[in-house]
Structure 1
Amino acid sequence: MDTAARDEVDRRRAFVGLLANPVLDRRRHSELFALVRHPRHRSELMNWFSSRLGYRLVVTDTAARLFRLPLGDVVVAPRRVTTPPRRMLVLALLAAAAAEDAEDITTTQDLSDRVRVLSAREDCDVAGYDPDQFAERKLFEAAVELLVSAGVLWPVGADHGDGWARRADKIGTTYQVQREMLLRMVDPASFTAALGERGPVLTESAERFTVMRRLIELPVCLYTDLTEAERAYLIRQRSRVVAWCTEMTGWTVEQRAEGLALIAHDEADTDLPFPRLRAVDFVTLMILDDLFRRRADDDVVTDADLAAAVLEVAARYPKSITNEIASETARSERAMELLRALDLLRPGLRPGLWQLTPIAARYRDPRVVSVTARLEDTE
């Protein structure tokens, strides 16, 4: 492979890698970080993110940080199947504030002590943190892990995950505070949007950014989800948009009457591959197929249709029902979580109604190869 072709592949790997890991540090992501920081890739990547998506990529000697800046108060991002508890996020922010005043080397216990003091201040308008309660300690331990994943804390030594929450006599993991990443953890514009305060709208590029973000970040970009100005932009610039997506990812843009979808060639390149070889995905796929058959002319299904589909699939494929989804309620809830995260099903115009999106048609009439073995309870 010649140099130009290799650079094209490496830039795509760097671009997709940053979407999946918006916080990179030289130590934990050495290979990907090297691609991002490479002299032949760095400026091009920055240009792609800024001019095509309206994002900001910051690259230093030791780290890279991709900021998904909001348009006004809206951030286009994949829907999470599960979200961290609000209390965990609050404790993570308090721990980040505590880490700013901590020594360069700190511990779980030191951060916990600092957060207890910080949360008790009159000007800190949150419920006080009580490390004597196991539930609080468990949440705090998970909150610290969020900071580790954000590159703010680096575990030092081999004691990472030593069960601090269950052992009041332990100091927990030892961490090195990464002050550069700590300062870059939250972007002011994104923080303002998270608080529901409308920021500046980039009117000149808003249509381009919205369309590109929907294609890059979401399962599909449907014309019905776009404003009139955004639809006009996509229709007018469709060839350029498709070329950009192909250049940045190497994936295939599927064009249909309802909209466009960017299809990854490898399921490892998407945050939510479907269907995976696990019981929840199989049952969800079969429920979706049943709902597709029960849908009305306007692609609307009801809660009753969902309940009937859940029962039908369990009766037809009993070996697919693992402990995780043994009850009808569990099967229904897990299937709905997954279908909504994949944007295959949306809430209808009134309670009890659900709207199948055009993407659902891609999964109709699935061919079941074998159901002779019981599927595992795997995530």
Structure 2
Amino acid sequence: MSRDAVERQRAFTGLLAHPVLDRRRHPELFALVRNVRHRPVLIEWFSARLGYRLVVTESAARLFRLPLAGEVLAPRRLAAPSRRVLVLAVLAAAAAEDAEDITTTQDLSDRVRALAAHDEVGLAPYDPDRFAERQLFDKAVGLLIETGALRGTGRDAGEQREGWTHRRDTVGGAYEVERELLVRMVDPAALAATLGDNDEAAAVEDSAARFGLMRRLIELPVCLLADLDDACRAYLSSQRHRVLAWCAEMTGWVVEQRAEGLALIAAEESDTDLPFPRLRAVDFATLMVLNELRKYRQEGGVVSEGDLGRAVTEVRARHPRAMTKELDTGLALRDRAVELLQALDLLRGGAAGGTWWLSPAAERFRDPRVVSVTARLDETETE
């Protein structure tokens, strides 16, 4: 494989992981994306194969995941920000646009308080005198830093925001407003596609089958045939060879094909946003719960809330020394396991009648071999 091909793959997968790039925070990756040999190819890949829009400027790059049928396809986030945090982040972004080039947590908080008080905004008032609200605003500012709209200056901004939250710091950290990235937080084409009121939305819909299939392969842990609509299944049936070639060309990864669907397997653990299992107690316990759930799975992959409880009880009894303070109760283990398994799309549901659905992909983790540094912990497992 040529050097250019490898570099394009690094740039493509890097953009998926970091859709907001600037030359200060990601100098090496940004240099690959902006390279005159790679940039037009990357723009074409994202546009023609996924229906995404890549904008590259002198100092930043932004990947916009344009909605398809009003939705953006993405895996369930682990510990995702609450709706209130997202609302406060949007208000803080609007406030930052009118702020000076250097602003502070306190300044943004004052501006957001004024914005939220307007009747036409239609939001619950923001009250920074309440500790809970200050905590949420701290997280909102953190999101703007992650997106590159704000850049901390001076001392550790996170510590200063925490001090502001607890009223130990009246400023809460100083930030440089990155106006180019700030104004690119919302793309006109993406907004129009979301509202479905212009040619941009129509152009995406015209290629819905191709985009829908490719997005599931690229963005989700697994692309199950049962999740595809008729158009996507027909496209896969007629264009399977082309789809697999595109995936290999863009990522360098391998597509694993099974009767239930396809999965794009990353070459390295660092290539995925949620590697599993990691060397930590929560992942170990979740892996054990998943293996126990497989034993209770009924036809169609259904398991009950009772089955989940029995799996948790069995794991806690079999591996008591693995139960850290974070997992000190059955409810704690149950909640953490469900959260992680849902983020991995290995477990779905939990609403009607307390039933859950176990993905066929759970079989990839069957019968784990449990060992310690000095001795095997579970003498009954199947290797």
TM over 0.5: yes
Please report how far the alpha carbon of residue 203 of structure 1 lies from its aligned counterpart in structure 2 after TM superposition.
3.6
1:193–1:43 CA distance, 2 compared to 1 (3 A): closer
| 8 A contact 1:24–1:64 mirrored in 2 | yes
What's the counterpart of residue 226 of structure 1? Answer: 228
What's the counterpart of residue 110 of structure 1? Answer: 107
Please report how far the alpha carbon of residue 158 of structure 1 lies from its aligned counterpart in structure 2 after TM superposition.
2.4
- Is the deviation greater in 121-130 or in 167-176? 167-176
1:297–1:134 CA distance, 2 compared to 1 (3 A): closer
| 8 A contact 2:75–2:345 mirrored in 1 | no
Q: Secondary structure at the match of 1:290?
A: helix
Please report how far the alpha carbon of residue 340 of structure 1 lies from its aligned counterpart in structure 2 after TM superposition.
1.4
User: Given residue 309 of structure 1, which amino acid in structure 2 is its aligned partner?
Assistant: A
User: Given residue 321 of structure 1, which amino acid in structure 2 is its aligned partner?
Assistant: M
2:62 corresponds to 1:65: yes
1:198–1:306 CA distance, 2 compared to 1 (3 A): farther
The TM-score, its normalising length taken from structure 1, stands at 0.93
Partner Cα distance (2:351, 2:343) in 1 = 19
What's the counterpart of residue 31 of structure 2? Answer: 34
Please report how far the alpha carbon of residue 297 of structure 1 lies from its aligned counterpart in structure 2 after TM superposition.
3.1
Q: Which runs of no fewer than 5 residues in structure 2 stay unpaired?
A: 378-383
Which string of whole-angstrom CA distances, capped at 9 and with x for unpartnered residues, describes residues 222-277 of structure 1?
A: 11111111101001111111110011111110011111100001111101111111
Please report how far the alpha carbon of residue 331 of structure 1 lies from its aligned counterpart in structure 2 after TM superposition.
0.7
What's the counterpart of residue 289 of structure 2? Answer: 287
| 8 A contact 1:207–1:233 mirrored in 2 | yes
User: Given residue 232 of structure 2, which amino acid in structure 1 is its aligned partner?
Assistant: E
Partner Cα distance (1:78, 1:263) in 2 = 15
Q: Secondary structure at the match of 1:181?
A: helix
What's the counterpart of residue 96 of structure 2? Answer: 99
Please report how far the alpha carbon of residue 155 of structure 1 lies from its aligned counterpart in structure 2 after TM superposition.
1.2
Partner Cα distance (1:132, 1:48) in 2 = 48
Please report how far the alpha carbon of residue 148 of structure 1 lies from its aligned counterpart in structure 2 after TM superposition.
0.9
What's the counterpart of residue 244 of structure 1? Answer: 246
2:355 to 353, 356, 360: 353
What's the counterpart of residue 298 of structure 1? Answer: 300
2:332 corresponds to 1:330: yes
User: Given residue 177 of structure 1, which amino acid in structure 2 is its aligned partner?
Assistant: V
| 8 A contact 1:320–1:371 mirrored in 2 | no
Q: Secondary structure at the match of 1:260?
A: strand
Identity %: 64
Please report how far the alpha carbon of residue 147 of structure 1 lies from its aligned counterpart in structure 2 after TM superposition.
0.6
1:352–1:159 CA distance, 2 compared to 1 (3 A): closer
Correspondence list, 1:11-30, <5 A: 11-30=8-27
Please report how far the alpha carbon of residue 140 of structure 1 lies from its aligned counterpart in structure 2 after TM superposition.
1.2
CA RMSD of aligned residues (A): 1.9
1:190–1:307 CA distance, 2 compared to 1 (3 A): farther
Partner Cα distance (2:308, 2:239) in 1 = 39
2:370 to 363, 368, 371: 368
Please report how far the alpha carbon of residue 370 of structure 1 lies from its aligned counterpart in structure 2 after TM superposition.
2.1
Please report how far the alpha carbon of residue 81 of structure 1 lies from its aligned counterpart in structure 2 after TM superposition.
1.9
Please report how far the alpha carbon of residue 190 of structure 1 lies from its aligned counterpart in structure 2 after TM superposition.
4.6
2:81 to 69, 72, 84: 84
Which string of whole-angstrom CA distances, capped at 9 and with x for unpartnered residues, describes residues 273-307 of structure 1?
A: 11111111111111111111121233221111111
More helix by share: 2
What's the counterpart of residue 310 of structure 1? Answer: 312
| 8 A contact 2:68–2:205 mirrored in 1 | no
User: Given residue 22 of structure 1, which amino acid in structure 2 is its aligned partner?
Assistant: P
Q: Secondary structure at the match of 2:121?
A: coil
What's the counterpart of residue 131 of structure 1? Answer: 128
What's the counterpart of residue 343 of structure 2? Answer: 341
Partner Cα distance (2:90, 2:209) in 1 = 33
Q: Secondary structure at the match of 2:157?
A: coil
Correspondence list, 1:141-156, <5 A: 141-156=138-153
